Amino acid sequence: MEKLNRRKSPKVYKNKKLNSANFGTYNLNDYQVFLQLISMIGGVDETGKYLQPQELQREYTLTAKEFSRQFGVELDGAYTTLKRVAKKLTETSITLEKPELFETWHIALCAEAKYNHKQGSLSIEFTPNIMPYLAQVKQKFVLYNLKEIANFGSLYSTRLYELIQEFKDTGYIIKSVTQLRETFAVGKKFKLYNDFKRFTFAHAVEEINSQYEMNLRFEELKDGRKVVAIRFEFTPSHTGQGYNPATKQMVNVTVKPPRKIKNDQQELNLKPSIAKRISGTVLKTITTPEVHQAIKSGEPILPAAKKARERRTTTVKKIVEDISKTSTEVKEIINAFMEEGLTETQATIKAIKLKLI
């Protein structure tokens, strides 16, 4: 078996035809499970060579803990989701339009799926027919980091963001209302156009803009008084040169509009050791004088003071966890740029310029 070059940041690769396919009754969590599963495929060997569909592994296992951590889903909800999706993955086919052949294809996604109750995990086997749409082929694939869509609360936001990635270099997309209805898989819902607009792409545009410096907007294209298509405009991505250490060659690197930094985000790259020192300092300063005196003298801590100490200790632990979490996110961003051949200093400078940290 070929050795795969697995990246630290899970990436989604999929054929452009699959990108606009109808996923039927999938809800947001169902679709997130599918994306996380295909992000495990990889598809590049240690020399940087793209693997053919028949060379790719077809069996993968996703745990509830991994899904919960990736998408911020409560663990109990993650167990429920994986259990439900196990059945849906084998029963649902993906609809692909093949206009060049004047055909509509229905392709089964998984040949087998099983939920392990003891381990809280989902194990699947992709069908041979779906693998060509999940293998990396230049010019035919959509690529993005899985974490880019992890915070979206709507399936329509995720699907529209994927369409943007397909046309990220042009700065605009034009889709007919019929195509959007198919991609969003609304079925018989939202029969009135205004309802369809309000609950799908208008909401998606608002949510994407709330998270990215993309300036995404849309224009309705009409035939008479009827809206027949939507033109989406956005800040395009641009391409630069980066060094790939695996192939030892210069490669094109796509720089996308950066994520917005919220006021409550910590921007300092604090190491765990620093976080621990902060926790010790804060504990000393917020513990009540009564508790300090009791500890020094060896006397029993009064029940009220003990409760106060426990409450404050819990608060500090949460602060430290938040700091450590932010530190990890910053490191992931820097590591992602270092994978493009930059030094740590260069990667940090680039991340700061793009307002990612």
pLDDT tens for residues 111-133? 999 999 999 999 999 999 888 88
**Is 0.85 topped by the overall pTM?**
no
Q: In this predicted model, which residue has the larger pLDDT, 48 or 85? A: 85
pLDDT for 282: 41
User: Residue 259's pLDDT band (boundaries 50, 70, 90)?
Assistant: confident
On whether the CB atoms of residues 137 and 125 are closer than 8 A, the answer is no
pLDDT of residue 249: 72
Inter-residue contact 207 to 153 (CB < 8 Å): yes
Token representation of residue 135? 């293998």
Residue 282 contacts residue 235 (beta carbons within 8 Å): no
Give the mean model confidence (pLDDT) for residues 207-223.
94
Per-range mean pLDDT, top range of 197-206, 330-339, 341-350: 197-206
Res 11: pLDDT: 81
Q: Are 36 and 121 within 8 A, CB to CB?
A: no
Each residue's pLDDT tens digit, 2-17: 334 444 577 887 878 7
**Could you give phi then psi for residue 293, rounded to 5 degrees?**
-65, -40
Q: Which of 34-38, 77-81, 89-93, 158-162 has the lowest mean pLDDT?
A: 89-93
Under 8 Å between Cβ of 231 and 174: yes
3-state helix, strand, coil in the chain (%, to 5): 45, 25, 35
How far apart CA 13 and CA 1 sit, in angstroms, is 21
Contact 71, 150 (CB under 8 A): yes
Q: Which residue has the higher pLDDT, 254 or 90?
A: 90
CB neighbours (10 Å) of residue 253? 18
Domains, the chain: 1-136 (1.10.10.10), 151-260 (1.10.10.10), 261-353 (no CATH)
More confident residue, 279 or 329: 329
pLDDT at 325 over 90: no
> Over the stretch 139-154, which tens digit does the pLDDT of each residue have?
567 778 889 999 999 9
Res. 188: pLDDT tops 50: yes
Residue 253 has pLDDT above 80, yes or no: no
Residue 289's pLDDT is 55
Residue 116's closest CA among 77, 69, 67, 64? Answer: 64
Cα angle at 324 between 322 and 330, to 5 degrees? 105
